[in-house]
Structure 1
Amino acid sequence: MIANLSPTGDGVGRWGEDQRVVFVPDTVPGDRISARLVRVKPKYANAQLQELLEPSTYRIRPHCIVADKCGGCQWQPVDYTYQISAKQDQVVQALGRIGKFQDPPVDEILAAPSPLGYRNKVTYPLTNRRSHGEKKVQAGYYRKGSHRLVNLNQCPVQDPHLDPLLAAIKQDIQDLEWPVYNEKTHEGIIRHLSMRVGRRTEEILITLVVCNDDIPVLGAQAAAWMRDHPGIVGVCLNINSERTNRIFGKRTDCIVGRPYLVEEFAGLQFHIRANTFFQIHTEQAEALLEVILAELNLQGHETVLDAYCGIGTLSLPIARHAAQVVGLEVQEEAVKSAIANAALNNITNVTFQTGKVERLLSVQDDTPDIVLVDPPRKGCSEAVVEQLLELKAPRLVYMSCNPATLARDLKFLCQGGDYQLTRVQPADFFPQTAHVECVAFLERQSPT
């Protein structure tokens, strides 16, 4: 019997006299199954589903016809009400087990308005594969645990405006005989197809990731895409000639139209480029921002420090309620975009600084009233945590896409009595997957 779901998305059961934990992909809590052990460790085992003996009441028919093969979504067979319950538990368990918080103050998770059609950005690797005697250009996600592509013509979790483009652009690449990159031989040019859409504006930006720009009739084809698909506002070319798993290279050229799309977020306009970091789920990001603003209850006299500020996604909405916001960001291009977005919205009480966050935190002249951190999945480095403790801001806000690293960092911030964790709000930014977003609120404790 599968008892629950792991943070990586696998079903979890027990086996043997010692009731060893067994992780089984493609299973749902409540399933009765037979499985084959594929790896046995002293404290756990991994198994492969052999037969579904009795399906769980939480098991549903996936919305995607290749859900059992594609590695893009782990939880399409899981009823959405159970998905959000599992994510809530994931946050509570991480804070208890890793953070050592007893009875952590976790609010009820913010469920997504719709568990489908929410992704505002997709990036598909491309390949050539022989089918019915001829080579076909294929795009999709990799099969679970492999680098074998599962071909897609549509995807139920991406914004529906992108579905017709996926099949059309694949066909055009094939008809034009543009050489598709082979990751084994490192031959070919076209590596990835990336598409972004403004959820509020419906503007679409297309980007081809390529090894070089030696692509015949590229300009004419890009113009044809814009003509045939009115939502497209720009077609870009990103150059990545390295033998690497990293998708985007450093250089991006605009072939036709604009190098950015315009999106509306929290009542503001943002210019979003091909490789800009912007939350995948626009509506849920806004919902979590509303939680942050309500909790902070800014009165207009506060100074807020926004670490890992990116293009100003949080800095700019917060600046409308504070006296001053200072954004810190290591990526120079992101800072340029943040400055441009501030000017676009006539926001003048925000400044941005470029450099490593730990260094920028160490050179602040004054103690801010609030520090907001939104680090990548790996969380804050030890140096950043030390600087946060040294800065002694009265309030900290920690936004995270990884409950494990969130719990680790909160433990370090709170274990010495410097800060108290007052509230954690989970939110489902990634329906059909095991990922969960959180924001944690901390208050500095007065020395006794």
Structure 2
Amino acid sequence: MIRQGELVEIEIQDVSSDGNGVGKIDSQVIFVPHTVTGDRILAKLIKVKKKYAQGRLEKIIHPSDNRIRPRCIVADKCGGCKWQHIDYGHQLEIKHNQVKETLNRIGGFTEFEVEEILADTDLAYRNKASYPLGMSDNGNIKAGYYREGSHQIINLNQCPIQDERLNPLLAEIKQDLQELGIPIYDENTKKGILRHLCFRIGKNTGEILITIVITKPSNYKLAQQAPLWLERYANVVGVTLNYNPRPTNVIFGEETELLAGRLYLKEEFAGLTFTLRTESFFQVNTNVAESLFTWVIDELNLQGHETVIDLYCGIGTLTLPIAKKVQKVIGIEFDKIAIELANHNAVINDIDNVKFMEGKSEVIFPELTTDADVVILDPPRKGCQPEVIEALLKMKPRKIVYVSCHPATLARDLKMLCENNDYRLERVKPADFFPQTTHVETAVILQSTTTH
């Protein structure tokens, strides 16, 4: 029988959905972070339960062929990336298997194919970065990501997964903030002003927004500094302040103030022009998102006469490209700023067959009197509310497109949609929006079993 504190030698046989290596001693499952399938390791057991144990990697006895040298010098400390030690090809294999296994285990699906995972570059892909700010022991400003499992900031001057054009801004603006002498917010005392340093870049246009999150509205020193950043960096088109006074882990507050330039950047996506703000949602991996949305549109084989409803539509990232292919689209989104941007994006792209509605999908969608040929779902990680599932089964659109960032809630919702044979699982396409992490995006197309 294994005991807490014991050193054990194990072989890692798999990788769990939360990214930890999985090994066994007799019938006891052992989870060990920072390992990969094929590693032979020495681990110290730090928690032992009846059915499983958690271990800490002490030594790699024999490395797996899937193990590589991390390309980030703080990969063993920073919580931003969990899989820097895993060969990218194997990362894709793990994610592909995760989607298949979860749809089977939770969804109960048995006869289906998971298509090849969409992927692009495994580094320099993020078009947005939000760095919490802190103070080091010697009084210097820190900006970076939290150490895994804590709120201790790992100080960064560059990050290999963010767009390379943002790296010079991180180090230099951090130094500017140091010289301005504005107090840094302390999570423990709830005192201070500066909370986060945020960047967003248009992957295809190069336009950049700088946003500082603060606890108090307006700031004279930052107002004076903002035009200097605009002058120094040719690609920076706007500097904004976001006001978030709440003691919360949520990064952005509800109010944003323009300091210099404009509130938004322009991005080219799926053949259209989009305006984005730092605090509005947009997929962080532009290239793979565009590939996935193109796949969705191609697979729908739209003929031009269809009516489409897009739930959780955001700024219209998928709504507007689809509007170019159909007769009518309705987009529903809870976030007020996203709706404003969606309407603006429709106007600048001369798209007039789309209607955006502000509100919760679970409230608006069940009350719609419009029938749809296709309904698109792109909910947050928690998945769809029961009211949405019930309304879908009542409306019975010919096809449902479900885009998900969480295989478990995807499988749960698909099971409810398909369990009475109202729909069948037609296509499953995973996409790697988040290389070096455990997260995977999946697009699923459901086909109604009723002839329309």
- Normalised by the length of structure 1, the TM-score is 0.97
List structure 1 segments (4+ residues) > 4 angstroms apart after TM superposition: none
Equivalent residue number for residue 216 of structure 2:
212
Equivalent residue number for residue 97 of structure 2:
89
Equivalent residue number for residue 85 of structure 2:
77
Measure, in 2, the Cα distance between the counterparts of 1:61 and 1:322.
48
1:353 aligns with 2:357: yes
1:117 aligns with 2:127: no
Q: Is contact 2:327–2:353 with CA below 8 Å preserved after alignment?
A: yes
* CA drift at 1:217: 2.4
Measure, in 1, the Cα distance between the counterparts of 2:51 and 2:253.
41
Equivalent residue number for residue 7 of structure 1:
17
* CA drift at 1:214: 5.4
Measure, in 1, the Cα distance between the counterparts of 2:269 and 2:51.
46
Q: Residue 217 of structure 1: SS of its match in structure 2?
A: helix
Structure 1 unmatched ranges of 5 or more = none
The one of 66, 72, 76 equivalent to 1:64 is 72
- What CA deviation, in whole Å up to 9, does each residue of 1:259-318 have, x standing for no partner? 011011001111101211000000001100111111101111110110110110000000
Q: Is contact 2:134–2:153 with CA below 8 Å preserved after alignment?
A: yes
Measure, in 1, the Cα distance between the counterparts of 2:290 and 2:402.
16
Q: Is contact 1:95–1:104 with CA below 8 Å preserved after alignment?
A: no
Q: Residue 325 of structure 2: SS of its match in structure 1?
A: coil
Equivalent residue number for residue 310 of structure 2:
306
| Structure 1 residue identity aligned to 2:231 | R
5 Å-filtered alignment, 1:292-371, equals 292-371=296-375
Q: Is contact 2:218–2:257 with CA below 8 Å preserved after alignment?
A: no
- What CA deviation, in whole Å up to 9, does each residue of 1:238-279 have, x standing for no partner? 000111111110000010000011011001111101211000
The one of 126, 129, 133 equivalent to 1:126 is 133
Q: Residue 399 of structure 1: SS of its match in structure 2?
A: strand
Q: Residue 402 of structure 2: SS of its match in structure 1?
A: strand
5 Å-filtered alignment, 1:31-430, equals 31-111=39-119, 113-130=120-137, 134-213=138-217, 215-430=219-434
Equivalent residue number for residue 8 of structure 2:
none
* CA drift at 1:359: 2.1
Measure, in 1, the Cα distance between the counterparts of 2:228 and 2:416.
55
Measure, in 2, the Cα distance between the counterparts of 1:273 and 1:435.
24
Measure, in 1, the Cα distance between the counterparts of 2:48 and 2:328.
55
Q: Is contact 1:122–1:194 with CA below 8 Å preserved after alignment?
A: yes
* CA drift at 1:146: 1.1
* CA drift at 1:14: 1.0
Q: Is contact 1:319–1:325 with CA below 8 Å preserved after alignment?
A: yes
Measure, in 2, the Cα distance between the counterparts of 1:215 and 1:204.
21
Q: Is contact 1:36–1:48 with CA below 8 Å preserved after alignment?
A: yes
More deviation, 281-290/324-333: 324-333
Equivalent residue number for residue 7 of structure 2:
none
CA RMSD of aligned residues (A): 1.0
* CA drift at 1:42: 2.1
Q: Residue 139 of structure 2: SS of its match in structure 1?
A: strand
Q: Percent identity?
A: 52
Measure, in 2, the Cα distance between the counterparts of 1:359 and 1:247.
26
* CA drift at 1:9: 1.1
Change (3 A) 1:221 1:386: same
Q: Is contact 2:366–2:387 with CA below 8 Å preserved after alignment?
A: no
Measure, in 1, the Cα distance between the counterparts of 2:254 and 2:294.
34
Q: Is contact 1:178–1:215 with CA below 8 Å preserved after alignment?
A: no
Equivalent residue number for residue 4 of structure 2:
none
Equivalent residue number for residue 5 of structure 2:
none
Measure, in 2, the Cα distance between the counterparts of 1:103 and 1:374.
24
Q: Residue 442 of structure 1: SS of its match in structure 2?
A: strand
- What CA deviation, in whole Å up to 9, does each residue of 1:362-386 have, x standing for no partner? 1222311000000001100112111
| Structure 2 residue identity aligned to 1:105 | E
Q: Is contact 1:96–1:104 with CA below 8 Å preserved after alignment?
A: no
Q: Residue 87 of structure 1: SS of its match in structure 2?
A: helix
Measure, in 1, the Cα distance between the counterparts of 2:40 and 2:282.
40
Q: Residue 206 of structure 1: SS of its match in structure 2?
A: strand
- What CA deviation, in whole Å up to 9, does each residue of 1:340-371 have, x standing for no partner? 11001110010011222122221222311000
Measure, in 2, the Cα distance between the counterparts of 1:47 and 1:309.
41
- Normalised by the length of structure 2, the TM-score is 0.96
Q: Residue 194 of structure 1: SS of its match in structure 2?
A: strand
* CA drift at 1:29: 1.2
Q: Is contact 2:266–2:276 with CA below 8 Å preserved after alignment?
A: yes
| Structure 2 residue identity aligned to 1:30 | G
Measure, in 1, the Cα distance between the counterparts of 2:354 and 2:91.
38
Q: Is contact 1:361–1:391 with CA below 8 Å preserved after alignment?
A: no
| Structure 2 residue identity aligned to 1:8 | D
Measure, in 1, the Cα distance between the counterparts of 2:217 and 2:422.
54
5 Å-filtered alignment, 1:14-25, equals 14-15=24-25, 17=26, 19-25=27-33
- What CA deviation, in whole Å up to 9, does each residue of 1:156-189 have, x standing for no partner? 0000010000000110111111111111111110
| Structure 1 residue identity aligned to 2:58 | Q
Measure, in 2, the Cα distance between the counterparts of 1:216 and 1:323.
50
